[in-house]
Amino acid sequence: MKKVLLLIVCLLFVSSLYAFRAGTTSLGGTVAYVSYKYNEDANPINVIIINPALSYFLMDNIAVDGLFEYVNANSDDMDDPETVMKIGVGGRIFFGNLYGGAGVLFTSEKHTGEPGGTYLRIYGGYLLPIVENVYLDIAGMYQMGMGKYSGDDYDEQDNKGAELVVGAGIEVFFDTGR
C-alpha cells in the first residue's frame, strides 16, 4: 500500500511540473461521427457531434469550462435533419496531459421541435502535444439526462437519454499568467 501511495505522490509531483498555470485560457473541442442502422434493411442514420469548449484556469491544473454541443442527425428516411444544441458549464482537473471533468448542459425546445432537458456530462481525455501550446485532444464523454423533459408534447416524461461518445479535436492554450 505504501508503494502505491508513493507512486501516486510521485506522479502528482511530476505532473505538476507540467502544470497549466492559473490565468491560462484554452479554446478547443472535439468532433465525433456516428453512423448506425436500426436494422439491416434501414437506411443509415449519420450523426455529427461537435463539442467546442472555452476554458479558464482558476488555479494551477483546475479549469472551468464553457460547454456547447451541436448534434446533427440525417438519413434518407428523414424529411428534415434533426438538430439539437446544448449549452452548459463544467470543470476539469489536469494531471499532466491527462484530464477528467464533469458538467451540466441545458437544451431548450424552442425552434427545434425537440424536447428541452438537463444533462449531466462526465468527460476525460488525453492531450497529445503537436507544437507548443497546441494539443491533439483525444476525449471520451458519457452524458445522461436528468429530471423531466420540457415542451408541450413531452411534459412529465422522464429524461432518460444517454450517450457515450469518443472523439478527437484540437485544443490551444493561451498562457496569460499572473
Q: Which CATH number fits the domain that encloses residue 110?
A: 2.40.160.20
Q: What is the mean pLDDT of residues 13-35?
A: 78
Amino acid letter, residue 170: I
Look up the domain containing 103 and give its range: 2-174
Predicted model pTM: 0.76
Residue 7 dihedral angles phi and psi, to the nearest 5°: -65, -45
Judge whether residue 15 has pLDDT over 50: no
Tell how far CA 31 is from the center of its chain. 10
Residue (of 54, 49, 52) closest to 66 by Cα position:
54
Q: Check residue 153 and give its pLDDT.
A: 63
DSSP assigned state of 155: T
Of 152 and 170, more confident? 170
Judge whether residue 4 has pLDDT over 90: no
Residue 14 dihedral angles phi and psi, to the nearest 5°: -65, -45
DSSP assigned state of 111: T
Strands 25-36 and 82-95: unpaired
Number of domains the chain contains = 1
